[in-house]
Structure 1
Amino acid sequence: MTKVDVIIIGAGAAGLFCAAQAGYRGRSVTVLDHAKKVGRKILMSGGGRCNFTNMYTSPDNFLSKNAHYCKSALSKYTQWDFIALVNEYGIAHHEKTLGQLFCDDSAKNIVDMLLTECQKAKVNIRTQTEILEIEKQESGFKIHTNSGEYICESLVVATGGLSMPKLGATPFGYQIAEQFGHTIEATRAGLVPFTLHDHDKAALSELSGISVEAVASCHNTSFKENILFTHRGLSGPAILQISSYWTPGETVELNLSPNLSLLNELQQKQTESPNAQLGTVLSHYFPKRFVQTALSYFNLENKPLKQYQGKQLQQIAETFEQWHLKPNGTEGYRTAEVTLGGVSTEQLSSKTMESKLVPGLYFIGEVVDVTGMLGGFNFQWAWSSGWVAGQVC
């Protein structure tokens, strides 16, 4: 039987960061994780370079049933606080686009930093530890594991969501929440590629690998970034972003010409080069292979511009600027970067992440119903929620 002040379940971003904060307060902290290695999701994030935060982080970058819930934690521990820590460790980094900060070298720099922080704070990390049962005691908790029993005053659940099961994602955190009477907001895959219906897939799969800038819109929310055609459907930043707002059966609108009026361009070219064929002109604005497929897919005739009359050019422009596509679904948790939904914020303190139902029980990171947009926001939520819980647990 091992007695400690704090047990943290999950050695990911939120769990490790929280553990160090609690350890620095003089609390005895043990982190338990079922995996062989800590921080696996950190290591593969951002193409192995870890998009560890975003300079423009604000509450507007998060989805939750309670839009205000994330404000307190994000204001108490900001992106600038984490950037200062990264700088303190001399980790070279750069801004890629839209405030997204990546390591110059490797995501391993961030994991090493977290482990060093835990070491300094005298945190004990136990991997390959399976939790068999959790019991609430008069004061604190008793944790039964495959490597012995633990007693703790505070229990912090930092188990992540359901995305990327190959990296060890499980519903365990939600099960703990339910065991102690917490509500789970419905979960689904977020920041995930779309799959297409058979007829769209057959027509567009030959575009696999082609990327175009676009605006993807759904539910009065729009993202202007690249979309990427894949052999299964559509991916790329704009698609991943809008996937978090889309629900099955709905249509996504894509503007494939976000930086110019295609109608103006076509009308001008009709005057300047009336004998130029539509496909040739469109190839000035889109990849050639995309144009060939698009003409067929949208049932557009490839003829000289002078042969188009009336509103025909306007209809062609609208076809590219208002493409209404109904996805078949998403690729699901297998490739999703995050899980939408999770432990309801109604039953958690926004200032400390502590359960309102069970004193001494905390939920942090992705297991909570707070989901960031693409671009480092989910890591910032891990740092902020882990930090506030670490000040009190």
Structure 2
Amino acid sequence: MDVFDVVVIGAGAAGMMCAIEAGKRGRSVLVVDHAAKPGEKIRISGGGRCNFTNLHAAPQNFLSQNPSFAISALRRYTQRDFIALVESHGIAYHEKALGQLFCDGPSTQIVNLLLSEMKLHGAELRLSTHVETVEKTAEGFRLGLSHGMIGCRSLVVATGGKSIPKMGATGFGYDLAAQFGLKVTETRPALVPLTLEPTMLERLKPLAGVAVDAVVACGKTRFAEAMLFTHRGLSGPAILQISSYWREGGEITVSMLPQVDLFEELRAARSRNGRQALQTALSAFLPKRLAQLIAEGEPGPANLADYSDKHLRRIEGAVNQWRFKPAGSEGYRTAEVTLGGVDTRELDSRTMEAKAVPGLYFIGEVVDVTGWLGGYNFQWAWSSGWCAGQVA
């Protein structure tokens, strides 16, 4: 039976990062994954360009039942550290809106970076390999793999969450945590499009493909980014962001012209050219299909000149105070990440080691730390993987 110092389950961002750091310390490292290729989520991220981190990554950009847990890891291995690694491999990148960093070339550059660093530091990779059993032993752990038994002193779980099951995502990491008596917080899809009830969906059907820059709010949380109407409901960065905060039965408020005093603009348009239709006046600020739908939803006179201030106020509200209750979300099928996971109270925030099970570590998405859209979840993978790699 082969015995390693460290076995990492999961060849994703966090798992490979941990393997690299453990290998740097001279540890014998094996990474196993049931997938046929490593880093598949890296490959598809950012439209194939990999939004590998965010310049503004900080603890306040993450959700957790224990918000302070992520502070240590994010401060010890920062976005600047990973950027330096990217630059050391000669990978060109650029900044998009809100501090998001993307590769100029294909996202496989980041996968290749990690694979080359693993090879440099002696970490072994076995793909298409299923972990069938895990047992605690006096020396560490014994794993039954689809290709035989192995042993290790330290076991790192980097299996991710349930999001995008077509890529092989499962709840294996949560099951393993439960096997060793660790608590797992409620898990749910996050960074996911929201669906609408049938009547509203039918009414908004003509808007599929229309996008607007909006402020989307749920309670006291709000995001100012693009919103997209789809044939299932709503998507786009603003909706994906707010989905992590929304709960079933809750209300969402949308402002589709947050920088415009639409009431005053319509009053001015009424004075300048009162013979125009409301839809024409709205089209100066909104996409034509959206302007038409709003005008139809607030029926009134043929000419703008005949609209009262009260009516114009209602129209302004329909645009900048649109309130609705989503029917649900598209679920794990399209969710970018999983909210919730291994309870952080069970883990050491500096090492990611389970407090009650020496030698067992949980890193990345499987942990109850979930970042905003825009490279934050990759940064958590790099930071948590780095921390575990210093000690496993």
Q: TM-score normalised to the size of structure 2? A: 0.99
SS at structure 1 position matched to 2:340: strand
Asked if 1:79 corresponds to 2:109, the answer is no
Aligned residue for 1:51?
Answer: 51
Shift of 1:225: 0.7
Cα distance in 2 between the residues matched to 1:225 and 1:301: 31
**1:332-386: CA deviation from partner (whole Å, max 9, x where unpaired):** 0000000000000001000110000100000000000000000000000000000
Q: CA deviation at 1:302?
A: 5.8
Q: How does 1:307-346 map to 2 (within 5 A)?
A: 307-346=306-345
Query: In the alignment, is the contact (CA less than 8 A) between 1:134 and 1:142 conserved in 2?
Result: yes
Match of 1:265 in 2: 265
Query: Are 1:352 and 2:345 matched, yes or no?
Result: no
Aligned length: 392
- Tell me by how many angstroms 1:303 deviates: 2.7
Residue 195 of structure 1 aligns with which residue? 195
Name the aligned partner's letter for residue 359 of structure 2. G
Q: Conserved in 2, the CA contact under 8 Å of 1:18 and 1:386?
A: yes
Answer with 226-235 or 300-309: which moved more. 300-309
Q: CA deviation at 1:300?
A: 3.2
Alignment correspondent of 1:370? 369
Once the two structures are TM-superposed, the CA of residue 290 in structure 1 deviates from its matched residue by 1.4
Gaps of 5+ in 2: none
Deviations 1:17-65 (A, max 9, x none): 1000000000000001001111011100010110000001110100000
Residue type matched to 1:294 in 2?
Answer: I
Amino acid at match of 1:233: G
CA contact under 8 A between 1:295 and 1:302: conserved in structure 2?
no
Counterpart residue type for residue 325 of structure 2: K
State the Cα distance separating 1:205 from its structure 2 match.
1.6
> Residue type matched to 1:338 in 2?
V
> Following superposition, which runs of at least 4 residues in structure 1 exceed 3 angstroms of deviation?
none
Equivalent residue of 1:342, what SS? coil
Instruction: Give the 3 Å change call, closer, same or farther, for CA 316–294 of structure 1 in structure 2.
Output: closer
TM-score, normalised via structure 1 length: 0.98
What corresponds to 1:138 in structure 2? 138
Identity %: 54
**Inter-partner Cα distance in structure 2 for 1:206 and 1:41:** 33
- Specify the alignment match of 2:153 in structure 1: 153
Task: Report the Cα offset of residue 170 of structure 1.
Answer: 0.5
Aligned counterparts, 1:281-296, within 5 A: 281-296=281-296
Instruction: Give me the whole-angstrom Cα distance separating, in 2, the residues matched to 1:158 and 1:241.
Output: 24
Aligned counterpart, 1:392: 391
Would you say the 8 A contact 1:278–1:304 is kept in 2? yes
| Secondary structure, counterpart of 1:177 in structure 2 | helix
Instruction: Please say if residues 251 and 326 of structure 1, whose CA atoms lie closer than 8 Å, have aligned partners that are also in contact.
Output: yes
Cα RMSD, aligned residues only: 0.8
Write the mapping of 1:23-34 to structure 2, written as runs, cut at 5 A. Answer: 23-34=23-34
Alignment of 1:231-246 (within 5 A): 231-246=231-246
Aligned to 1:89: 89
Please, which runs of 5 or more residues in structure 1 have no aligned partner?
none
The AA in structure 2 aligned to 1:17 is M
What is residue 223 of structure 2 aligned with on the other side? 223
Counterpart secondary structure, 1:226: strand
3-state SS of 2:67 partner: coil
1:127 paired to 2:127: yes
Amino acid in structure 2 at the alignment position of 1:312 = H
